[in-house]
Amino acid sequence: MRRKIAASAGAYGVTIIPTWNYIDNAALRLHTLFMPRTRMDELYALAEEHDGLLTSKEARALGIQDSVLVRLAQRGRLERMSRGVYRIAHFPADRLAQYREAILWAQASRGPERIALSHETALLIYEISDVNPSRVNLTVPMSARLRRERPEWILIHLADLTPQEISRHEGIPVTSVERSIMDVLSTTHRTDIAKQAITDALREGLLTAAQASSLRKRVNPPVHGPSHSTNGSRVTAHESATS
């Protein structure tokens, strides 16, 4: 059998390199070059934008029907997270995965676009105060009609957010620090949480001294009553999705 022989400069011997190593590598590169793109490849590329998550709506935009997603889920290639939301199986999830899932769930099947994580969830994401909500707080427009089954771990709030009241944290829409603090105050009436959040946000550079001073004036005296106006829009918490 023919062999390719290469001698190292100043070496005392020779290195024998089998020719078939090159043949195998070349064949592998050629095979990969002309390998057709599969539906799973398309879904994987789509899901990379959301840390492994995708919606049936996004898949349909690529020409992938719901029946394909169902079959891939049956084969274990996808995991059905909630109605209209899937995860690529074995895709490494990060600490924000559940929050991304909540956003995609609300936006699936022609859901509202101007939505954001809010209230205690927003404070947790900003890492201000010691809140640890048991459910993901999500604010959607007052006119939103979410006709899908709501996951039990999502708590819906209705309010019309302005563009200025929505920030982005690692690609996820979250209500601004000021809005988040006042939302928590309006629903819990916990001035201690609001004050701690203001202090933490100021220390972390998330608020200016002027913004912190303005918020403290709004926090004191304690606000009472079933609802509180935040920048002129009414905030309502719902235990279930609206119909």
Q: Residue 191: CA atoms inside 13 Å, Cβ hemisphere, count?
A: 10
CA-to-CA distance for 243 and 241, rounded, in angstroms? 6
CA-to-CA distance for 55 and 88, rounded, in angstroms? 11
Name the band, by pLDDT with cuts 50, 70 and 90, for residue 104: confident
Question: Taking residues 152-170, what's their average pLDDT?
Answer: 93
Domains present along the chain, CATH in parentheses: 4-33 (no CATH), 42-93 (1.10.10), 95-238 (3.30.460)
pLDDT of residue 147: 67
Name the band, by pLDDT with cuts 50, 70 and 90, for residue 37: low
- Whether the per-residue pLDDT at 69 is higher than 80: the answer is yes
Which of 56-60, 101-105, 138-142, 231-235 reaches the highest mean pLDDT? 138-142
* Orientation of helix 209-219 relative to helix 191-203, angle to 10°: 180
CA-to-CA distance for 212 and 3, rounded, in angstroms? 76
